[in-house]
Structure 1
Amino acid sequence: MPPPCPRTGGRAQRLALAALTLVALLGLVFTVQTPPAAAALAVRIVATPNFGGNYDPDQWVPITVALANDGPGVSGEVVAEVPGADPPLRFTQRIELPTRSQKVLTLYAQFPPRAGTASIRFEAGKESVPAAPVTLRELRSGQGLVGVIVDDAALGAELTRAIVGAYGSATFETVTVAPDEIPGNTFGLGSFSALVVGDASTGRWSAEQRAAVAGWVARGGQLVAAGGPNWRKTGEGLGELPPLRPTDSRTVAGLPGLAALGAGNGPSGQAVVATGDLLAGATRLADQDGASLVATRGWGRGTVTSLAFDPGTSALSGWGGANAFWRKLALDTPRPAALQEPFSGGYNSYSGSAQVANVLRDIPGLALPPTWLLGLVLLLFIIAIGPANYLVLRAFDRRELAWVTIPVLTLLFAGAIYVVGAATKGRSVVLNSVSVVRVSPGARSAEVAAFYGIFTPTRGVRDIALSGEALVLPFSPNGLGDNKDLGGDVRFEQGAGSAARGASFAQWTQRTIAAQGVVDPAAVILDVELRREGQKVVGTVTNRSQSAVEDALLVYDGAYQSIGSLAPGASVAVDWRPSATQTGSYNSYGRGLGTAHYYSNSTGQYPGNQPGQMGVTGHRASTLDALSGTVLDFRGPGYSSGGPYSPPTFTPSATATPSATSTPRPGTRTPGTPTATRRTPTPTRTPATPTAANKPVQVLFWRSDPPLDLKVSAGERYATTLVIQETFPGATTQGVPSPVARSVAPVEGGR
C-alpha cells in the first residue's frame, strides 16, 4: 500500500485545529453569556408575635421580625401571609440587608378568627427564607386584653395574677409586655382594653412608640401608670399622660389611704410613694396625709390613672382589699367603637361596608345614558338595517346582498357605539374616595379610615400607592380584608412606601382598597367652644381654616342639630336642647343619621341604584348611615316608636371648670379633656354602661379634600370627606402642667 499523501494529512490537521478553535470559541461564548448560579441567601430570620400572640380579630397585630445577613448585601421584603385567605393575603415591608448586618422591624397584619398560625418569610427575587411559624391566640368573645408593661417578667406575672383575680379570666386575658414590645404604630395596640405600666424603662421608647401609646389612650384606652421608688424610670416615656407629675418620693408606714378604694384597712408595711403636683383637670380618688395616692384624668376618649406607689410590691399583693381596689379602677370600661368597626362585618345591603362600597361605585362620569337616548339609538339601528337597507338595495336592484349588508351594518353600529363610549367614558382613570376622620376630645389624635375606588379603562397590573404612610388592606362590600377582586399576586406594603402593589385590573372595572392612618388634627378641626347650661348645649363653632366646611351637624346621645355650612372665618352660635330625632318616610333606605337628616319629610331626592345617580347628598347620607349606631352616637328609631324620649341629664361638675373649652387652633397648645364628665370608677365587675354624662358632643362636617390621597394619575377625582370632631362641653384645659394641688412637701433623698 502506498504511503499517505502529505497533503491529505495536512488537511486533516487543519480540520482538527478548526474544530478545536470552534469548540473553544463556543465555550467562551457560553462562559460570557451564561450568568453564574446565584448564591443561596445567607439570611437568618426569626419572627415573634408581640403580646404573646394574643389578638382581637379585625385589629392590627404587630409582629417583630429580626434578620441577620451573613452573605453579600441583598434587598428584599419581609412577608406575612394570612392563613386561609383565598386568594392569598400578604402584608409586606421592604428592607435592605448589607453584608453582615442585623436589623429588626415590626410588620403589621390583620388575622381572621381562629387563625392559629401565620407564616413569615424574607423574599429576594425568586428566593425566600421562611421563619418558624408564629402562633396566634384569639381572644374569646367578650374578653378584653390587659397588658402589664414591666422590665421584670416575674413582677409582671404577679400583677397579671392580681388583675385576673379581680376581674376573672372570662373578662380579661392578661399578658406581660416588655417595654420594647410597644409598637411604633398606634393601631398595633388596638387589641388592648387596658395597659398597666409598672416598673418599666419607658425612657427607651422612641418618639413613635410614645405617640402610639398616647394615640391609643386618646381613642379610648385605659392606662394605669405606677409610681413608687422608680417613678422617674416609669414616667420618663409617658410625657404628660399621667395626671400626677412627680418631683420626689418618700417612704410611708402603710397605705391606709387606699381603704377608700378597697375593702377594710389599707395595706400595711412600708411603701415608697411618689410625690408631686396634679395636673389641671385631674381628680383624686385616694389620698393620704395630703398626698395623692390615686388620681385620674381624661385624655381624649380614654383615661389615665396615676398610682403614687408600685402596685407590684408585696404589701399590695398580700392586701385583702386588692381585688376591690383593682375593680374600682374600672379597667373593664367599654371602649368606644373603633373607627373600622362598621366595616368589619359580613355583607348585608345596609352594612357599613356595603353602603360605602355603593358610594365608591357611584361615579358621575360612568352613569348610564338616559333612556330616551338608548331608545333613539335602537330606533336608528332598526331603521338602518330594515327600511333604509331595503330601499337602498332595491334602488340598485341587489336585494340578494341583504345577507351581507345586515351583518355589516350591525358591526358598524356596534363599533360606532364602542368608539363613542370609549372616547367619552373610558379613556382615563377615575378615582373615587370616602374618608372618615375622627378627632378625639382635646384634639389629642386624628385617626383616618379611608376607602378608595379606582376605575381603569384598560386591563393590567397596577401599583396603588398612598401619598402618606398608612396601613393598607383590601376592601369590598363584604368588609375589610376581602381580597377576592385584586388578584392572587397583590401585596399590601407598609412603611414609607405604603401601597397595594400588583393589583390586577380587568378592562373597565373598579377595584377597591382601604387604609388606616393618622393625620395632624390642626389641619382639619374647627374652633369649638361649648358648655352646658342645664339640659342645653350652648356656645359657638368657628371655622378658622382657609377652606369652607359644609353641612355641619351636632350629634349627642341620639339627637342631632344642623348648624349649616361655614365659610372661612365664619362662626355660628349654638343654643341647643337635645331632643328625640324621628326618621321620615325613607325608613326602607335605612334608619341612620343620613336618612334622618337628608331624607326625612320627603326632602331631597332618594338616591338611585345606578352609578352616577346618588349625587353628593346620597354620598353623604350613605356615609352617615354606615357609621350610625357605632362610631356616631345616633341610632334612629325603628318602624315602631319606643317610649317617650328623655333629654340627657348632665352631671354637675365636681370641680370648677371654665365656661367653655376651645379646641386648639393650628400652632397652639392642645387643650385637654374633662374629669367631671368622665366615668367615676365603680366597685362592680360589670362594665359600666355609657351614659349621657360621659359622652362627648360630636361635631360633624364635610371637607372637600381627602386627608390621605393616592398617588394615582387620574383624569377624574371625586372625594367624600367627613370629619367627626368630638368634644366634652365645659372641659377643663389640659396641657402644660398647672398645679391645682400640692401633694406633699418634697422629701430629701427621694429618687
Structure 2
Amino acid sequence: MRYRILRLLLGLLLPFGLVAGTAVTAHAQDDGDVPPAEEPEFDVAEDPAEPAPEPIPEPPIDEAPPASEAPPVTEPERPDETNQRTGPRPDPDSSAVELIATVGLDGQFKQGEPTPITVTVEANRLLVGTLIFENRVERRTERLQVDIEVPGASSKQYVAVISTSQWEAMNATVELEVDGEVIEAVEVDGGYDSELELVGVMAQLASGREIPEASRLAVEGTGSARLHPISDELLRAGPDALAVYDSIAASGRDLDAMAPEELQNLLTWVDRGGHLYVDQVAAPVAGLPDPWQPTDLGWSRAGRGRVLLTGSQLGAGEWDQVLLPTPIDNGSVGIEFFEGGGSSFPLANEQRLSETLETEAGFELPSLRWLLILLASYVLLVGPIGYFVLRAFGRPQLFWLLVPLAAVLFTGFTWVTGSSIRNSTQAAHATLVEFNDGGAIARTFVYQNSRNGGDIGMVAPPSWNAATPIRTPSRSRPTTSLSAGGLRSTLSVGPGDFGLVGAVGPTDNYEHPFTVDYEQTGNGTIEGTITNNLDIRLREVAVFARGRADSIGSLDPGETERFRVFGLDDFDFGSSGGEYEVWGRFIDRGRSSRLTTVPTVNIALWDEYRTRQGPEARPMGEILVAGWTDALPSPATTLRDQTVEAGRTVLAQHFAVADAGDALTDMGSSRRMARGSNDLDFEAVTRDGQLDDFGGFGGFDQTVGLHQFSLPTEIGTVRLDLNRLAVTGLDRTDVAQVWDHDAQLWLSASDAALRDDIVLVPPGAARQGVIHLRWAINQENFWQNQTEITVEYVDEPSRYLTFEALEP
C-alpha cells in the first residue's frame, strides 16, 4: 500500500514526479506489489500458425548450385524418452556434433532431491563452446552453463546438477552454444519409481565382470534395483550429484584408487544417509575414517548412512542376495509418512526468504504515516494554502510559479530520500550449515541490491551447485557458471533493484558446534547434556527428536546445559515437528506484517531446510540440535570478492542416539520408513487365521508399511547381541512380519505374540544390522494414540514368543 501511495504522490509532482517515482519505487517490483512488465516469450518452433523459415547457408561462390536445385531436406528426428531435439534446427556444421543427455540414472531420479544431468558431447572437429542447462521447477527457472572443449574425432562427458520437484514432472533442456549461436539442443526428462532402488557401481568392481542392468532385492516383495556404472565426472561433480543413488557398490581397490576430492564427495554422500556396499571380507576399508570401519559383525554406522561388507558376493554376481531396500525420505507414498517428525508443508505459509533478508540488508521504506503526511502537505501547498495566501498578498498570478516550484522541491526531497534508502543497504545472507559425523554441507542465500543496475551475484567453492529457495518464485533468471575454479552465479537487475541468489555444497569452514552426552534413555525419553564447542554465542538453541523438542535458550562458548525430550514412544501422527514448541513466537508472522526488526530465528530459512528434508526428517533413534548466530559470514562471497557479514546462520547437527548403559533401549535403533502403503502388496495370515491380501489402502480398510530398523554395532562398549532383539508396540497391528535372510522367508507374529506386544526377532532377520518389518493396521486402530513400534533388548529371550512361519 505504501508503494502505491508513494507512486500517487510522485505522480502528482508533474513530469519531475514521474521521473522520481520510477527511481524511488524500483524496489517495489522485487516485493511483488507492483508486477514487472514482462516481455512475451515466443517459441518459433512451436508456432502453429507459421513456422519460421530455416536459414539456408550460402554456398561458396565457386561451387554455387544450379538455381533449380532445392536445398536438401532433413528427415525430422524421432524424440525418445530422455533425449529429444528441441528449438531451432541446428546449423549444417552441427552435423559434426552430437549431444546425448541423460537425467539421473538412465532417466530415473528421486523426486525432491538434487539430480545430475550427464551430457556426452561427440565432435568430429575441435569444438569450443558452452553447454546451457535450463530447468523449470515449481515456477522457478534455473540456468546453468559449463564451458567445454572437445578435441576433434572424440567425445567428452560433462555433469551438471539440477533441482527437482517433489510434486511436478521434470522440464529441462540442454543447449550447445558456439560463438553465441545455439547449434544443438535436446530435452531431458525422466521418471520416479519409489519401488526402484538406484544403485551405482564403481569401476574396479565392474572391471572384467558382467554387471546386470537390474536385480531383485534381497527382501522379497520390496521391489527391484537398477544398476549403473558411476563415471569419474559424476564423482567429481560433488555430493549432490551422488544424491540420485540409494546405494553405491565398490571394491576396496575402488576406494583406495580414488582422488581425495572424489573420496570426500563419496564420504559426504554416505554421511548424509547413503548405503555403501564394499565387496571385501573384513576391515579395514581403504579411505574410511576409523569410527566408520565395519566391525566383525560386517557393518557400521557412518553418519546417517551405513557401510556394509559383502565378502565376495558382489564379485560373484550375487546381487539379489545383498541389495536391500533403503529408506525413502521424500515423496508421498502413504499417510504413515507423516509420523516422522518432519513435513512437506510450510510453517509460515506466506513468509518469503527475500522478505526476511530485506531487513537484514537494511532496506526500510518510510512508514505509511509519513507518506500520507508528505502527500497531504503537497496537496495543501499547491491547493488551498497557496491559493488563499497569494490572494491575501494580492499576487494570485504567482500561483503559476508556486505549482512547478513545489513540484521541484517535493521531487528533490523524495529523490534524495529514495537514494538514501538504496545507498544505505548492504548485502545480507541466510545460511544453514548441516553437520553429520563426517563433515558439513552449507546452503547459503545472499540478498543484494544494485544502485545503478547491472549484475549481482555470488562466488562459491568447487563442488558447489546453485540453490533456489522453494517458496521464493523468481521472475528473473540467475545464470550459474560451473568450472574447476568454483561456482559463479549472476543475476541482472535494474537500478535500485534487489535480487536473491543461492548455492549449496560441502564446507570445512566450520567446526562441529555441539557435543551431546546421553545420561539416560528409554521409555520414550532422551535426556542428557549439550555443550557449545564454538567460541561464539549461540542463541535459540533447540533439541529436536521426531515430533518433539526442548528449548535450551542461549549457549555461551563452552557452556553446557541439560536437555530432556520425552513422549517419543507415543504415536504422534501429523506432528508439527516441535518448531511451535521452541520457536513459536517467530512463526506467526506472514507477509501481511512486514518485519521491522531482525528476528533471531529466520523461520523462512528453517522452513526451506525442513521442507527439503521431507516427512521422515527426524526418524526414531536420531536427534537434531540447532542454534542461531549473527557472528558468522556467508561461506560464499559477492562477485567483487566481498565477504557478506550481515545475516543469520543456523548450525544444525545430527546425532544417532547412543545407549549409555548395557541395553538397547527403544531409542537406540534408527527407524525409517522403507516402503509405504502405495508400494506394498502382500499376503499374510491375519489374527483370525485367514489368508488376506494387503496392499495399497485396501479401500481405506487398512494401511500397510515397511519399517527399516538400523542397528548399532555396540551397546556402550559391548558388542551387539543379536539373540536379545525384540520388536515392541505391535499390539495395534493386524499383521507383523520380519524378513529372515537365513530362511529366505517372511516370518509372522502369531495372535498370541501380538497380544504380548513383545516379539523376539530371529538372528537371521538382523543381517547387515538392518531389520525389515512389514505390518498392516486396521484403520480404526491406526488413528488411536498407541505406542510406537521399536526394537530393543529383552533380558530373558526364552520367555517370549518369536516370529515364525504361519500357515492359514
State the TM-score, normalizing by the size of structure 1. Answer: 0.62
Letter in 2 for 1:527: T
Letter in 1 for 2:375: L
Aligned length: 557
Relative to structure 1, is the Cα distance of residues 333 and 604 closer, same or farther in structure 2, using a 3 angstrom cutoff? closer
Which among 654, 658, 662 is matched to residue 726 of structure 1? 654
1:357 Cα offset (Å) = 3.8
Within a 5 Å distance, the mapping from 1:549-628 to structure 2 comes to 549-568=538-557, 570-579=558-567, 593-599=578-584, 609-617=592-600, 619-628=601-610
Relative to structure 1, is the Cα distance of residues 632 and 189 closer, same or farther in structure 2, using a 3 angstrom cutoff? closer
- 1:452 equivalenced with 2:506 (yes/no): no
Q: How far apart, in 2, do the equivalents of 1:346 and 1:456 lie?
A: 34
1:300 Cα offset (Å) = 0.4
Relative to structure 1, is the Cα distance of residues 336 and 486 closer, same or farther in structure 2, using a 3 angstrom cutoff? closer
Q: Which residue of 2 aligns with 1:139?
A: 192
Which among 458, 461, 473 is matched to residue 468 of structure 1? 461
- Structure 1 portions without partners, runs of 5+: 1-38, 245-277, 285-294, 582-589, 636-689, 742-751
1:437 Cα offset (Å) = 1.1
- Does the residue aligned with 1:156 lie in a helix, a strand or coil? coil
Within a 5 Å distance, the mapping from 1:260-299 to structure 2 comes to 278=295, 284=297, 295-299=298-302
Letter in 2 for 1:726: H
Letter in 2 for 1:596: E
- The sequence identity of aligned pairs, in percent, is 17
1:335 Cα offset (Å) = 4.2
Q: Report the RMSD for the aligned CA atoms in angstroms.
A: 4.8
Q: How far apart, in 1, do the equivalents of 2:521 and 2:326 lie?
A: 31
1:306 Cα offset (Å) = 1.0
**Rg comparison, structure with higher value:** 1
2:343–2:614 contact (8 Å) kept in structure 1:
no
Q: Deviations over 1:264-298 (max 9, x none)?
A: xxxxxxxxxxxxxx3xxx6x2xxxxxxxxxx2211
Which among 253, 256, 275 is matched to residue 222 of structure 1? 275
Within a 5 Å distance, the mapping from 1:217-616 to structure 2 comes to 217-227=270-280, 236=286, 243-244=293-294, 278=295, 284=297, 295-313=298-316, 316=318, 326=322, 330-335=324-329, 350-351=348-349, 354-363=351-360, 365-422=362-419, 424-427=420-423, 430-440=426-436, 442=437, 444-460=438-454, 462-469=455-462, 471-473=464-466, 475=468, 478=471, 484-486=475-477, 490-501=479-490, 503-520=491-508, 522-534=510-522, 537-568=526-557, 570-579=558-567, 593-599=578-584, 609-616=592-599
2:242–2:269 contact (8 Å) kept in structure 1:
yes
Letter in 1 for 2:476: D
- Does the residue aligned with 1:190 lie in a helix, a strand or coil? helix
1:706 Cα offset (Å) = 3.7
Q: How far apart, in 1, do the equivalents of 2:616 and 2:223 lie?
A: 28
- Does the residue aligned with 2:468 lie in a helix, a strand or coil? strand
1:182 Cα offset (Å) = 4.5
Q: How far apart, in 2, do the equivalents of 1:402 and 1:699 lie?
A: 65
Q: How far apart, in 2, do the equivalents of 1:709 and 1:346 lie?
A: 28
- 1:174 equivalenced with 2:157 (yes/no): no
Q: How far apart, in 2, do the equivalents of 1:402 and 1:114 lie?
A: 65
1:498 Cα offset (Å) = 1.0
- 1:155 equivalenced with 2:138 (yes/no): no
Q: How far apart, in 2, do the equivalents of 1:386 and 1:497 lie?
A: 61
Q: How far apart, in 2, do the equivalents of 1:180 and 1:143 lie?
A: 24
1:219–1:336 contact (8 Å) kept in structure 2:
no
Relative to structure 1, is the Cα distance of residues 368 and 242 closer, same or farther in structure 2, using a 3 angstrom cutoff? closer
1:193 Cα offset (Å) = 1.9
1:633 Cα offset (Å) = 9.0
- Does the residue aligned with 1:554 lie in a helix, a strand or coil? strand
1:219 Cα offset (Å) = 0.6
Within a 5 Å distance, the mapping from 1:110-125 to structure 2 comes to 110=163, 113-115=168-170, 118-121=173-176, 123-125=177-179
1:93–1:494 contact (8 Å) kept in structure 2:
yes
Letter in 1 for 2:423: R
Relative to structure 1, is the Cα distance of residues 42 and 181 closer, same or farther in structure 2, using a 3 angstrom cutoff? same
Relative to structure 1, is the Cα distance of residues 604 and 223 closer, same or farther in structure 2, using a 3 angstrom cutoff? closer
Within a 5 Å distance, the mapping from 1:187-198 to structure 2 comes to 187-197=240-250
State the TM-score, normalizing by the size of structure 2. Answer: 0.58
1:446 Cα offset (Å) = 0.9
Relative to structure 1, is the Cα distance of residues 725 and 78 closer, same or farther in structure 2, using a 3 angstrom cutoff? same
Letter in 1 for 2:655: T
- Does the residue aligned with 1:313 lie in a helix, a strand or coil? coil
Relative to structure 1, is the Cα distance of residues 725 and 498 closer, same or farther in structure 2, using a 3 angstrom cutoff? same
Letter in 2 for 1:206: A
Q: Deviations over 1:436-464 (max 9, x none)?
A: 11111x3x12112222322333333x151
Q: Which residue of 1 aligns with 2:260?
A: 207
- Does the residue aligned with 1:53 lie in a helix, a strand or coil? coil
Q: How far apart, in 2, do the equivalents of 1:476 and 1:522 lie?
A: 23
Q: Which residue of 1 aligns with 2:109?
A: 55
Letter in 1 for 2:161: Y
Which among 705, 709, 717 is matched to residue 632 of structure 2? 705
Within a 5 Å distance, the mapping from 1:84-95 to structure 2 comes to 89-95=142-148
1:526 Cα offset (Å) = 2.8
- Does the residue aligned with 2:244 lie in a helix, a strand or coil? coil
Q: How far apart, in 1, do the equivalents of 2:547 and 2:345 lie?
A: 25
1:377 Cα offset (Å) = 2.5
1:701 Cα offset (Å) = 3.9
1:695 Cα offset (Å) = 1.9
Q: How far apart, in 1, do the equivalents of 2:430 and 2:220 lie?
A: 40
Q: How far apart, in 1, do the equivalents of 2:158 and 2:393 lie?
A: 80
Q: How far apart, in 2, do the equivalents of 1:128 and 1:304 lie?
A: 45
1:471 Cα offset (Å) = 3.8
- Does the residue aligned with 1:139 lie in a helix, a strand or coil? coil
Q: How far apart, in 1, do the equivalents of 2:112 and 2:428 lie?
A: 24
1:77–1:92 contact (8 Å) kept in structure 2:
yes
- Structure 2 portions without partners, runs of 5+: 1-91, 333-337, 570-574, 661-711, 721-808
Which among 123, 132, 147 is matched to residue 79 of structure 1? 132
Q: How far apart, in 2, do the equivalents of 1:712 and 1:458 lie?
A: 16
1:468–1:709 contact (8 Å) kept in structure 2:
yes
